[in-house]
Amino acid sequence: MSRPSIKSNNHSVLLDVEGMKCGGCVRSVEQLLCEQPNISNASVNLVTGTAWIDLVNPKEEIQEILSALADRGFPSKERIETDLYNKTSLELNANKSWWNQWRQLMVALVLLLLSVLGHLTEGGHLEIPIIGSLTFHAFLATYALLGPGLPILKRGFQSAFNFNPTMDSLVGLGVGSAYVASLVALIWPEVAWPCFFNEPVMLLGFVLLGRFLEERARFRTNKALKELAVLQPENARLFIRENETREVRVGSLKPGEHIQLLAGDRIPVDGIVVKGNSAVDISSLTGESLPLNASPGTELASGSLNLESSLVFEVKRIGSDSALARIIGLVEEAQARKAPIQGLADQVAGKFCYGVVTLSIATFIFWWQLGANIWPEVLTANTQSFHHHHGLHSALGSEAQTPLGLALQLSIAVLVVACPCALGLATPTVITVSSGLAAKRGWLFRGGDVIEIAASTKQIIFDKTGTLTIGRPLVVECLLSENKNHMLQMAASLEQNSRHPISHAILQKSQEQKLPLLHALTTKTFPGKGISGEVEGFKGTIRVGKPEWIKHEGVKWYSNIDMVIENSSWKGHSLVAVAQNDQLLGLISINDQVRKDAQSSLQRLRKLGMKLNILSGDRRITVERLGAKLGFNHDQLGWQLLPDEKLIKIKELQANGPVAMVGDGINDAPALAASDLGIAVGTGTQIAKDSSDLVLLGDRLEALPEALLLAKQTMNKIRQNLIWAFGYNMIALPLAAGVLLPRFGLLLSPPLAAFLMALSSITVVINALSLSGK
């Protein structure tokens, strides 16, 4: 049986794709995937070598998709969940990749060394007869093309044959042209062409060296994700009897089993503390600097670190359902989903190779038929070129003796200097670095498109409970009740399965009073209003919710009730009414505390130019008191709003630009989904909320301005990279085509062009790595 793949709720699959080297490759893979009938959408990441595809029918096998990619020169495989969390597999893959890259570096350095020695020998600076012979250079060039250069040639010509030329096609065409021209000159000297066997060797050397440096830099861009993946231990201590444990593989654990956590252990799965007290470091998942005090009933996420003492831990969620697995999945998805700004670069990269080949042909024809006749001095006077001509074996970049030799030299330089890689890497490198940095701090962006929206958002709406307040309200008092414990027991029994903060307050109070919870026979939730149902031991329908809703449901109401509600509201407390059939049993007064960092967080957001609003379902006086305390104007507040009314307010604000909605991820799903940027503030158990675009783990509201600032810095880096990528090609291509040759005698030799091409890609990656998010 095959292992489960990493799939999201919309039937998405992550593929590992090999063989992608530039933006043209990305475009080819995306076009091929979108042509498949079972794929509704595809997004490809050059940096991570992955493709995120949405399947129309998830039950269909994807082998046809993998075969289609392999036929185009992009062997692929489906990502399976254990690939992400198997530390041994990660280490083996890293070692294999490391060895392949170092071998590539050694070959590149040897080729460059032999090429330089050949030039020095030709110039009379060294006396090494073998290296100075033309036969040796011909043999070395042949080895370079059929050895380390063969994969490049194969991929390049296969892509060209499929009408999807890539950077390998340009390099292969360049080195192949130089080699063939030199071979013709060697076999038929009467054609009077110079031999430049050194140039394919040096060119391949620079290409391989550049790819080594680029791969090392790209490896660092995904470092954060790898650090997350190794947070999960491979083994756990399973209780097989009361005081006896056995070490087992984490993958064999099942929900409901108990494991032992010693001081210093990483928590392998999601679960609940059953016995013991300890401090737990959750900074690797949420960015929280202070440890969490764990006691019986505390829920902990996988990847956290037990600091002090032993715990007995009940397994709740394992494998791909665990918090750590979902975080890694979200980061993978974020890196695969593109920012809209990347669209222009992808369009250019898709046609780039065709344009470069066209320019190369035009350059060849111009200098062969026209240029040398218009400026005959370029054949003998370009003394500022970067190499010198020595006898029969010439450097391709030296003084050209014939129009054909000059045309060949410049057309090859055009092919080699072009850099579709920089265009392809400009956006995904920054998105990869940014999403990795964010994940380490507990901020989970769902994609590059989310980062771009976050950077442009100027309006933010806050929910009150659980967002601006700590979300853990407490019962202050019970009002208008003849039997307070009876009322609390009834309300807590009905609310026991709800995750709303107010429900937790009622449950907590009932536990303090040691009131047993009764079985809820039926329950029905009314969003924004309350809950009704039947409770074992009580006759009739029980309702718990807002006083206005309870009154509207036909419960008997007296004037003194409104007076009590008004007095309590002036204190800033929230009220929950409890009724049985048509009788009001009483009111529960609940108060929530403002987050300690709410004031400072809002001040930072205002300094960033954000327009802030509060939309709450709570009573007017409560919202107004909170708004005044946090510096909101009266027109920035909304109160007693039902979910559909919040949607209307959001649409009104969207007329002025993108709107972000910040909620606790529990009862704000409609508003989070309707906003341009849904932001959920919560714990590791809420990270899979489909309604949110950005999840801020932990209890720090200060993470919001920090995350938005990172998004702005990310977009600035992307713009810098795109300006560099486009600017480099716009300057380098005309220069390689000889635009400065007639007036200044300046031209680019193909080896120097290859060096500049590699440098362009490396510059883009290094600029992405400089992103700090501070």
| Residues catalogued as catalytic | 463
Q: What sign has the CA pseudo-torsion 529, 534, 538, 541?
A: positive
Which whole-number Å values give the CA distances from 704 to 312, 447, 464, 678, in the listed order? 35, 17, 15, 12
Q: CB neighbours (10 Å) of residue 388?
A: 14
Rounded CA-CA distance 483/667 in Å is 31
**β-bridge mates for residue 41, sequence order:** 54
Rounded CA-CA distance 16/7 in Å is 14
Q: Are 741 and 378 in contact (CB under 8 A)?
A: yes
Rounded CA-CA distance 731/725 in Å is 10
DSSP state of 5: B
**β-bridge mates for residue 246, sequence order:** 238
CA 591 to chain centre: 39
Q: What sign has the CA pseudo-torsion 426, 429, 432, 435?
A: negative
User: Phi/psi zone of residue 618: left (φ > 0), alpha (ψ -120 to 50 degrees), beta?
Assistant: beta
Which is nearest to 424 in space by CA: 728, 765, 763, 23?
23
Would you list the DSSP string of 619-655? -HHHHHHHHHHHT--GGGEE-S--HHHHHHHHHHHHT
User: What contacts 24+ positions apart, CB below 8 Å, involve 299-302?
Assistant: 299/270, 299/271, 299/272, 299/273, 299/683, 299/685, 300/267, 300/270, 300/271, 300/272, 300/273, 301/267, 301/270, 301/683, 301/684, 301/685, 302/231, 302/232, 302/267, 302/268, 302/269, 302/270
**β-bridge mates for residue 54, sequence order:** 12, 41
First vs last Cα of the chain: how many Å apart? 47
Q: Are 547 and 571 in contact (CB under 8 A)?
A: no
Q: Are 663 and 671 in contact (CB under 8 A)?
A: yes
Rounded CA-CA distance 670/682 in Å is 17
- Phi, psi angles (nearest 5°) of residue 737: -75, -5
- How much is the CA Rg of the chain, to the nearest whole Å? 33
Q: Which two tokens stand for residue 71?
A: 């036929």
Residues belonging to the chain: 774
Which is nearest to 706 in space by CA: 615, 621, 605?
605
Describe the crossing of helices 403-417 and 703-736 by its angle, rounded to 10 degrees: 170
Which is nearest to 618 in space by CA: 586, 584, 592?
592
What amino acid occupies position 75? P
Would you list the DSSP string of 500-567? -HHHHHHHHHHHHTTPPPPPEEEEEEETTTEEEEEETTS-S-EEEE-HHHHHHTT----HHHHHHHHH
Rounded CA-CA distance 411/177 in Å is 10
Rounded CA-CA distance 37/43 in Å is 16
